[in-house]
Amino acid sequence: MPLRVRPVELDLPFDRTLPDQIRPMLPMPAATPFDSPEYVFEVAWNGVRAMAALEGGRVSLWGRNLTDLKSRYPEVEALKEMTPADSIVDGEIIVTDVDGRPDPLALQEREHATTPAAIARAVKDHPVTYVVYDLLYARGRSLMREPLHRRQGRLRESIRSANRIYVADPVVAEGLAFFDAAQEKGLAGVIAKRLDSPYRPGQRHPDWLEVRSARQQDFAVLGFIPGAGSRRIEALVIGVYETGGYLPIGMVVGGFDPMAEARLRAALELLPNVPRPPDAPPADDRVCWVDPRVVVAVKFSEWTGTGQLRFPIFAGIRLDVTPSECFRMSLVDSPVSSRPVQAGLQPPRLPL
């Protein structure tokens, strides 16, 4: 599923304009974990997607919507001492807990630090790790047409884990055992990537599949019910972008932590009010319908037969996703390989 952005040539010349053009490739959601020697399996880090370039001794860092992230995450400056000149890498920004696991709440705190003073405090309180898992340019040459296994081989030859930079450690073929190991460590799931796949910037493509322990997707906030007493929000009305407009697909009433609830209420109160969408099902008269500019991550069990979410739970605010990217996504059937899988699983390494 494309992100609806203009196509990017895979052989663009390396220069300082690339951060204004290259968006990350994204995975499709898959139904079940699977084994296959045609795939490599990585941890689903659940972080902030970020691409980094080193050009002329200068590090650039940008998000999936081409937002400049360099000032927010100064730790990534360490790439300057570790990365070949004129290179671009793809990865995620995460904050880890004491066991090295991704800490979503700490990451949210870090994301909302935007002033120089707040960023300086956040660097001490919630230092980030940049997890690198793909190499798109090396010494000025595009590798995006190269198969994934070759790009990742060049990556491991070029960069070592150190100084808040962590080179991901994928596993070939053993997807089922890797998923179980990720579950045991409390991780969100795994990403399966075809070893022969090229890099498709700005596309959501089934060459990359995401298998989560709980289904999760990003949705636009279309309205909210104000809370009473200590509750700032009683419920969120969320929706997807379809046929040029937004369609409500559920109401989220659980999962809010106090800090996120306060930030959501403050952000939503600043938005212009809009009429109730014509395609919206009957809703509580207390709903304040707003212009869709805020995006949230929501966990849920499944889509119902009427196109609504079953058991939606709030999972965080998404500052790096635009509302028009919030499509309804169906699960992709997991591949079934006829070739035997070799034993010898290495469980997920974590950036301790």
Please give the pLDDT value at position 249.
93
Residues 88 and 166 in one domain: yes
CA distance 195 to 192: 9
Which position has the token pair 């800090």?
259
Residue 12 lies in a domain: no
The DSSP letter of residue 179 is H
Residues 148 and 234 in one domain: no
Residue 349 lies in a domain: no
User: Would strands 36-43 and 171-173 be described as parallel, antiparallel, or unpaired?
Assistant: antiparallel
The CATH number of the domain where 141 resides is what?
3.30.470.30
pTM to 2 decimal places: 0.89
Residue 96 lies in a domain: yes
Residues 207 and 226 in one domain: no
Give the Cβ contact number of residue 315 at 10 Å.
21
Residues 39 and 81 in one domain: yes
Residue 336 lies in a domain: no
Residue range(s) defining the domain that contains residue 253: 216-325
Residue 165 lies in a domain: yes
Contact in structure between 36 and 179 (CB atoms under 8 Å): no
Give the Cβ contact number of residue 134 at 10 Å.
22
Residues 121 and 243 in one domain: no
CA distance 79 to 64: 19
Q: Which of 46, 22, 82 is nearest to 218 (CA)?
A: 46
Q: Is 20 exposed, middle or buried (0-12, 13-18, 19+ CB in 10 A)?
A: exposed
3-state SS class at 15: coil
Residues 164 and 34 in one domain: yes
CA distance 219 to 343: 39
CA distance 148 to 134: 8
The CATH number of the domain where 250 resides is what?
2.40.50.140
Residues 203 and 269 in one domain: no
Contact in structure between 311 and 301 (CB atoms under 8 Å): yes
The DSSP letter of residue 292 is S
CA distance 318 to 105: 12
Residues 197 and 237 in one domain: no
CA distance 27 to 1: 9
How many domains does the chain divide into?
A: 2
Domain final position from 181, 213, 245: 213
3-state SS class at 218: strand
CA distance 95 to 110: 8
Residue 297 lies in a domain: yes
3-state SS class at 153: helix
Residues 237 and 299 in one domain: yes
Residue 330 lies in a domain: no
Domain final position from 213, 235, 261: 213
The DSSP letter of residue 139 is T
Residues 242 and 172 in one domain: no
DSSP string, 116-138: HHHHHHHHHHS--EEEEEEEEEE
Q: Which of 5, 2, 110, 100 is nearest to 48 (CA)?
A: 110
CA distance 229 to 300: 27
Give the Cβ contact number of residue 16 at 10 Å.
11
Please give the pLDDT value at position 337.
59
Q: Is 307 exposed, middle or buried (0-12, 13-18, 19+ CB in 10 A)?
A: middle
CA distance 64 to 62: 7
Residue 343 lies in a domain: no
Domain final position from 213, 247, 273: 213
Residues 267 and 241 in one domain: yes
Tens-digit pLDDT string for the chain (352 aa): 434 455 677 888 898 888 888 999 999 999 999 999 999 999 999 999 999 999 988 999 999 989 999 999 999 999 998 888 899 999 999 999 988 889 999 999 999 999 999 999 999 999 999 999 999 999 999 999 999 999 999 999 999 898 899 999 899 999 998 999 898 888 999 999 999 999 999 999 999 999 998 899 999 999 999 988 777 899 999 999 998 889 999 999 999 999 999 999 999 999 999 998 877 766 678 899 999 999 999 999 999 988 899 999 999 999 999 999 999 998 898 887 544 555 555 556 666 4
Residues 148 and 224 in one domain: no
